[in-house]
Structure formats: C-alpha cells, structure tokens
Structure 1
C-alpha cells in the first residue's frame, strides 16, 4: 500500500525544514519507506476533505490503505513501530526512546513555540520587550536540563532513535534565535541529526517544493 502524506503547497518557512511534514519525511527516509506527497493550500486545509483527515485543519496527515493519521508524534510513532530502524528491540530501551519522543513534544517544544509566537506575533506589543527575556529564560531552563542529560553522548539513549528524531526536529526551531549556540553539546547534537543521510533527503524534498520557479 502506498503511503501518502500531506504538506504545505507553500511552506511558511520557505522550505527550511521547520514545517512538521519534514519530521514525517525524515522518519520514512530512516526506515526506507517510499511515500507520496499531496500538497495542500492554506484554503484547502480548512475545507471538508482535509478536515476529514485532520480535524484541526493542519498538516501533515498520513494515509496508508484504510488508515489515516494526524499529529506528527502519532505518525512518527506509528512508522517507528511498523518498520525497523527507529526503535530499539530491547523492551526497556524501546520504552525510553518513546519517552524521549513525548519529552520532545510535551516538555521541550512548548516554550520554543512560545518564543516563536513572541518574536513573530507579539513583537509590536507595548509589553513585548519586557516579556521577551522571560520567554527566553523558559527556553534556557529546558535547554540547560537537556544539555546536562545529553552530556557528551552522541544521542539521548544509546543509538539514534525516534526520540532523537523528534528532539532534533524540535531544537531546529531555535537555530535562528542563537539560543542553541549557548549549549555547544546541543548544537553539535542537532548538527549530527542534520548530517544523517535520511534527514538530508527529507530536507531536500521539502525544499524542492518551495523553490521559486526558474526564469
């Protein structure tokens, strides 16, 4: 059965790998599964056909036969369960890798998303300058904890796993802010993720959609 995912027809990030379909593309590339992409406009995302797949009108979605999924965490978890390469065989190590997936999305990503909102949606507010240091410090709190846990290891818990895939994907949102540079081991960790051939293929696939036409 052919796997089909949805992605932005024109990504807000211009194809820099921050749209969440990149996480799903990366997971599929890691496990060697071919897939097709159906591009969706911002208008079509709010129409009944897409809302039947994603009730919140977002991307990506995942379709394979009779199965339709939404939410990147659920999609990557499904891929990792179905195909070897993203979760360890050992039951305890597998459980820890899944825990890191949840940690990336539930603990580390929320303050990073808050920072994005503060920078791009609230910068014109009278209180923005006073609030921004507090928002950044909340991000630093999480990065300090994560940095201490990672230490000098290559990955969070043994070999690369779906937990690392999700964590690197979340941390990539910080590259433009400069905050990641304050933690050399986390910056190196993200660079290792970006250097993986599967990530490079996923990034290039997403970028290709967003390149302006030649001429």
Structure 2
C-alpha cells in the first residue's frame, strides 16, 4: 500500500541515518507487516542524530523507532507492533490457534534467540573493527551464529517457510537475518540462504524497503518532520 498522509495509522521512523543503517532501521519491519496486511500508513520522521522531543518519550520510553499509533492502540517495539498488525491478517497470523501460537513463537525466537548475537557481531564489525577485544571476541561469536544457522537449516528441511507457509515469524526471522549480509555466514547454509531470499522476494518487502529508503532522501538538516 502507498503511504497515505491521511491514514489513521502512524509509524515513526528516521529522515536520515548513516549509510550503513539505511534500509535496516526497525520501522522497516512494521512497514513490511502493514504491506502484507494491505494497510496504508503515514510516517512521522526524526533525524537520527538529533535529540528526540520530550513528548516522544511518552510514546516510546527509550526514544527509539518505531512507535505506532492507529488511533486506538499506541505501541512501541517492532515485535509487539507486528503481532498487533497481524491480529486481523491471516498472512501474518493464521486463524487457527495452534498455527497462530507457532507463528508468535518464531517471531519471539527471532528476537530473543537469533538477533542478540547477530547484533553483537555487527557492533564489532561496524564500530569496533581493529580493536583488540573485538579481534578476540569475534571467533567465538561467529561460532555461536553458525550454530544458530545450523539449527535453523535443520528445522527448515525442505519447507519453504518455518511453519510451511509465510507468517509473522518468517517476517521477523528474515528481518533479523539481514544483519548477516556483511558477514557472508549465511552462505554457509544454503537452505537458510534460499529461505532468506524467498522471504525478501515478497512484493510487500520490496514496497516497504522502497518506502523507507525514500524517506532517507530528505535533507539531513530537516530534524523533525512535520
């Protein structure tokens, strides 16, 4: 769905981030979910390097993005927002109780069991490259990531998606795996790499990514968008 300035749904994001972060800010996960659900939204943008206004901390206690407001529900944290969007979208959360619970479990697994170590690996590679502590830490961290990818590959087997059909769990897992693009580690597990490409080939992801990238074309001096 195209961004609609009149939409009841508002998602916060950034008007500028450093190049390495472009296309990876977490409001992309929410945009993707909204695209899968066929729901329009509008954006409210902040400059990543400027202090958030005081009022924003009543919406997002840590001053991060995204925050979400649909006129009835106000939320923060991308996982919680995706689950909320999925409540009426069978593509994201199947209607039967067991399948919905499994999709929810995979979303939480992506955030709790996979993302932390990928995030740490990126912190080393982007912000601490060349430092001695990072050189010592990286090999063991790589092995932990490899272990998670091996388990993920074993689970996938010959399935297209984690539970056979695409769900919010796949949306979040693919979003998290994007953090490995610089490392090349995913290429060691062909099943995982193919699964990842399958998720990102979805038209809803392409639309969400294009929308986020378009926001970064704004003047970096804008600060808070109106």
TM-based fold match above 0.5: yes
Which residue of the partner structure matches residue 4 of structure 2? none
Unaligned runs of 5+ in 1: none
Which residue of the partner structure matches residue 125 of structure 1? 131
Evaluate the alpha carbon distance shift between residue 45 and residue 84 of structure 1 in structure 2; reply closer, same or farther with a 3 A threshold: farther
Once the two structures are TM-superposed, the CA of residue 144 in structure 1 deviates from its matched residue by 0.9
From 96, 105, 116, give the equivalent of 1:99: 105
Secondary structure of the corresponding residue to residue 176 of structure 1: coil
**Are 1:57 and 2:57 an aligned pair?**
no
| TM-score normalised according to structure 1 size | 0.93
Once the two structures are TM-superposed, the CA of residue 67 in structure 1 deviates from its matched residue by 2.1
Once the two structures are TM-superposed, the CA of residue 64 in structure 1 deviates from its matched residue by 1.0
Which structure 2 residues correspond to residues 132-211 of structure 1 after superposition, within 5 A?
A: 132-211=138-217
Q: Do 1:100 and 1:164's aligned partners in 2 also have CA atoms closer than 8 Å?
A: yes
CA-atom RMSD, angstroms?
Answer: 1.7
Which residue of the partner structure matches residue 41 of structure 1? 47
Deviations 1:167-206 (A, max 9, x none): 0000011011101111111111111111101001001101
Which stretches of structure 1, 4 residues or more, deviate above 6 A after TM superposition?
none
Unaligned runs of 5+ in 2: 1-6, 220-226
Aligned mates of 1:118, 1:95 — CA distance in 2? 34
Moved more, 61-70 or 122-131: 122-131
Once the two structures are TM-superposed, the CA of residue 15 in structure 1 deviates from its matched residue by 6.7
Once the two structures are TM-superposed, the CA of residue 131 in structure 1 deviates from its matched residue by 1.6
Evaluate the alpha carbon distance shift between residue 15 and residue 34 of structure 1 in structure 2; reply closer, same or farther with a 3 A threshold: farther
Aligned pair count reads 213
Once the two structures are TM-superposed, the CA of residue 212 in structure 1 deviates from its matched residue by 7.1
Q: Do 1:15 and 1:206's aligned partners in 2 also have CA atoms closer than 8 Å?
A: no
Q: Do 2:35 and 2:208's aligned partners in 1 also have CA atoms closer than 8 Å?
A: yes
